[in-house]
Chains A and B, each alone.
Chain A
Amino acid sequence: MILSLSIYAALAMLAVAILLNLWRLAIGPDDTDRVLALDTLFINTIALLVVLGIHFDTTVYFESALVLALIGFIGTAAFCKYQLRGDLIE
């Protein structure tokens, strides 16, 4: 009872956080703001997947959360490398 209530509360808070990230992604004045919003969006999505894994009582979501963590970091690092060096693979 307590657990399902707090799962719903956590899902609601994470949904609001993802909406705020999407808003910053839409209005961000610079490209770095948008990439930072994407990075935060990845992290919040990982948290959402883990909470959904507790809710549905399954362990399927671990792998997708891990893959999302990898892809989020690689995307941010690739953007920053591109900005700093003007090229990805020199």
Chain B
Amino acid sequence: MLIELIVSFFLLVGASFALVGSIGLARLPDFFTRLHGPTKATTLGIGGVLIASVIYFSARSAGLSLHEALIALFLFMTAPISAMLLAKAAIHRKVTTRSRVPPRFER
């Protein structure tokens, strides 16, 4: 029962952070702010969901279940790299920033 509560807590935290990151991706005004949203929030979301999975499968079977830690390790290593590469590509493509203009959804 306590295990279920802990797993539920981490699942909800992870999924809500993933949702917040995707809302940021959809709503923020220009590319560089949109880059900020998902790269922070979804790695935290993945972290929460994977912690929930580790706890659930470790309580389910004998011994520690650490398959998911592999995914978390890989994602935590590659998420900053891909964000930096995307920012460099956007600078190279001369993507404009609209930081002083209200959100583009008003037009």
* Chain A residues within CB distance 8 Å of chain B: 2-3, 5-7, 9-11, 13-14, 16-18, 20-21, 23-24, 30-33, 35-37, 39-40, 43-44, 46-47, 50-51, 53-54, 57, 59, 62, 65-66, 69-70, 73, 76-77, 79-81, 83-84
23 contacts across the A-B interface (CB closer than 8 A)? A3-B4, A5-B8, A7-B8, A9-B12, A13-B16, A17-B15, A17-B22, A21-B26, A23-B26, A33-B31, A39-B82, A39-B86, A43-B46, A46-B75, A47-B15, A47-B49, A50-B68, A59-B65, A66-B70, A66-B74, A69-B71, A77-B82, A84-B85
Question: Could you say which residues of chain A place their CB within 8 Å of the CB of B88?
Answer: 80, 84
